[in-house]
Structure 1
Amino acid sequence: MDLKEVDALGPEVGAHWYYASKARAMRRFLGTSSGTRVLDVGAGSGFFSKHLLAHAGAQEAWCVDISYEAESEAREAGKVIRYLRAVEPVDADLVLLMDVLEHVDDDAGLLREYAAKVPAGGRFLVTVPAFQCLWSAHDTFLGHKRRYTLAQLERTVRSAGLEIEHSAYYFGLVLPIAAALRLAQRSHQQGQAPKSQMRAHHPLVNRILKSLCSMELPLLRFNRVGGLTIFCVARKP
């Protein structure tokens, strides 16, 4: 999770429809083999690692992010979680890159770098924002380089030497809402400084959006049409 969005949402970030739904989709997409030792690249607050430690089978996690001022160690659900600025090769069986690749120039190179740090058989869960046509001031504010189509992400993952297990779009039911809002905002934000579009909603709105996203979960792996986010699970051969 980007630390800029933590600042925008505050301590209730886990209740926000977007992050609550994304965490549930992460677990659904990974299936029963969600991993016991997690390497979380570009982890920010460590939200997704913490979720796996608290709600899945993960037993320890390494969160890596160059934005950390110092390295530290904490506990989540009684399990060790380490916050590091860099990591040496580690015996992780799950590598998370949750909205990371869009921040770097060489996305395949970053994947190759971390594939070299984990044993063969390690799984990778990658998420990225979808569709360049949805580019907005929010992307600029977060320092994104690009948005992806499903085919583009799959090519990137394969070019890093990973084998794709499955990939799909998510947040498909809220895609029309988001697209309409972003088109409307473009006409009002000309010349303004980029800013985050992430904000807390009225509880009723938050609940409705969560419900829409929950409706997608049973068919999550089969959505190759469209959504706000792309999920991809791959494995190091």
Structure 2
Amino acid sequence: MDTIEIQRVVEIEDDNWWYRERREIVARELRRTGATGRAVDIGAAGGGNTRVLLDHGWKATAVDNTEAAVDLCLSQGLDACYADARFLPLPSAEFDLALALNVLEHIEDDAAAAAEIARVLRPGGAVLVSVPCDMRLWSTHDVALGRVRRYTRASLAETLTDAGLVVDRIWSWNVLVRPFVRLRRHRIAHCEDMAHLHPALNESLSLLASLERRLPLKSWPGVSLFARAYQPAE
């Protein structure tokens, strides 16, 4: 993610439905985890998810491969460092939790990044991953965001298990908006997803996301995939 894109994220992430809902998913997973400990937020960008970790009692470190993102995190008082996800300057078996939200799809060698996540997790430590799914949704939006792939459930599971992690769950996200997304991205020749949404549209999408939480749709095709995996206990 380049400096301009990070600035856009920071401008919209407090109010934008997509970022709000993703933070809610992170918060829900943290509540399920119960205990707190040390966490690393890989690909932290503006630090929104790092703040969620802190709000839930975790000691969190933000990591990003863009200096502007690291500077922004530091300016907010967050612990942050500059690093490539494939070469984390972090000790082995030190973290109880890792976040890698919309990170792996930007990395050609995603296997190396997954291996680094496994390396820094202590035995029993968990990772929460999100990625875009289904190459049938590939569009100029993906190109504009610097993605190199979209995943299937099988390819995401393989990436994590090949790194030595045990996949606990994989589920779909943004199932209800998939038809709209597929139509919009194949009709529009440039990326508009990061633009400010009209408040009415933003609220409508937020309501759809809230409805999706209450429906048994996690196995249906969506726009994104979430996965939770863990480092086997010794």
| Interval containing the TM-score (normalised by the shorter chain) | 0.7 to 0.9
Q: In the TM superposition, what whole-angstrom CA distance separates every residue of 1:93-116 from its partner, at most 9, and x where no partner exists?
A: 110100010111121221112211
Match of 1:84 among 66, 81, 84: 81
1:1-237 equivalences under 5 Å are 4-33=4-33, 35-54=36-55, 56-58=56-58, 60-68=59-67, 74=74, 81-86=78-83, 87-89=89-91, 91-185=94-188, 189=189, 195-219=191-215, 223-237=218-232
| TM, length-normalised to structure 1 | 0.84
Q: Which has the higher contact order (CA 8 A, sep 6+)?
A: 1
Letter aligned with residue 68 of structure 1: E
Preserved contact between residue 44 and residue 69 of structure 2 (Cα < 8 Å):
no
Q: In the TM superposition, what whole-angstrom CA distance separates every residue of 1:139-168 from its partner, at most 9, and x where no partner exists?
A: 111111100111211111111110011110
In structure 1, runs of 5+ residues without a counterpart are none
Runs of 4+ in 1 over 3 A off after TM superposition: 1-6, 69-76
**Percent sequence identity over aligned pairs:** 33
Deviation at 1:201, TM superposition (A): 1.2
Distance 2:112 2:180 in 1: 34
Preserved contact between residue 142 and residue 196 of structure 1 (Cα < 8 Å):
no
Preserved contact between residue 89 and residue 118 of structure 1 (Cα < 8 Å):
no
Preserved contact between residue 9 and residue 200 of structure 1 (Cα < 8 Å):
no
Distance 1:198 1:69, change over 3 A: closer
Distance 1:225 1:70, change over 3 A: closer
Deviation at 1:37, TM superposition (A): 1.9
Letter aligned with residue 17 of structure 1: W
